[in-house]
Amino acid sequence: MSVRKLKPITPGQRFRVVNNFEEITTNKPEKSLTVGISKSGGRNQTGKMTMRYTGGGHKKKYRIIDFKRNKANVEATVKTVEYDPNRTAFIALLEYADGEKRYIIAPNGIKVDQKVVSGESVEPNVGNAMKLKNIPLGTVISCVEMKPGQGAILARSAGSSAQLTSRDGKYAIIKLPSGESRMILTECMAMIGSVSNSDHQLTVSGKAGRSRWLGRRPRTRPVVMNPVDHPMGGGEGRSSGGHPRSRNGMPAKGYKTRKKNKASNRHIISKRK
């Protein structure tokens, strides 16, 4: 994995930092694992805009990802490592011994023709999926379930990883990418290793048009709006806008929005940083 800075031969390339995509082995997805995806443009079923600054973007297809890794004790071979326009991480195409193909989130360092497997009594090698009760303590993991059989929820984005720190009865204590330590049932599955494309955060788009390609429309700053449109709008001349808050009045910049009596609070050992 590496990034490279382009020569400033155009204004859009002056600050552009691109991913080399060295891990990518093909540019065509597996047709049987792709489905069409429609765009809403931020509108609901009645045509009313419910999500602002959304619309446009390049046409893309959704890749069906196996987040559950429930094909137990059947060895699979990594056929390709591919780019996925729907997520920041790379994906890997697996072909199982019985001929079935599935996509998974590609872990860091995975190679073509590598063997991976999921199940109870498998080796804790990169790309394998195991239950938390069988993973050695201190192991770096990713794609962690929160409920048994639910499918991976935590640590799925590019470069992210969690760490299994300890076990206490039926719970395992996981240190999440946010810094939070949390109890999760040991029956939940997780993948060994961190997620691929860790250089994603080093890339620089270089121009506003690239955001448009991703389906993001220009965002209007609240302080230049009118009072009818935003709590921070209005005022004579250039005014600061007052206390930073959202469109519906929720304070920003450090205001805690998590409910004090939330049921899952009892599973949190230490809060995020």
Within the chain, all domains assigned CATH 2.30.30.30 are found at 15-39+54-201
Q: Which residues contact 243 (CB under 8 A, 6 or more apart)?
A: 251
* Tokens found for residue 169: 């009865």
Question: pTM of the predicted model, to two decimals?
Answer: 0.92
What is the C-alpha separation between 210 and 219, in angstroms, rounded?
A: 14
Burial 120-131 (b: 16+ CB within 10 A, else e): eebeeebbbbbb
Within the chain, all domains assigned CATH 4.10.950.10 are found at 220-256
Strands 152-154 and 144-145: antiparallel
pLDDT in tens, the chain (273 residues): 689 999 999 999 999 999 999 999 999 999 999 999 999 999 999 999 999 999 999 999 999 999 999 999 999 999 999 999 999 999 999 999 999 999 999 999 999 999 999 998 899 999 999 999 999 999 999 999 999 999 999 999 999 999 999 999 999 999 999 999 999 999 999 999 999 999 999 999 999 999 999 999 999 999 999 999 999 999 999 999 999 999 999 999 999 999 999 999 999 999 987
Fold of 220-256: Ribosomal protein L2; domain 3 (4.10.950)
The per-residue pLDDT for 1 is 63
CATH class of 15-39+54-201: mainly beta
Nearest to 105 by CA among 86, 119, 133: 86
What is the C-alpha separation between 48 and 36, in angstroms, rounded?
A: 23
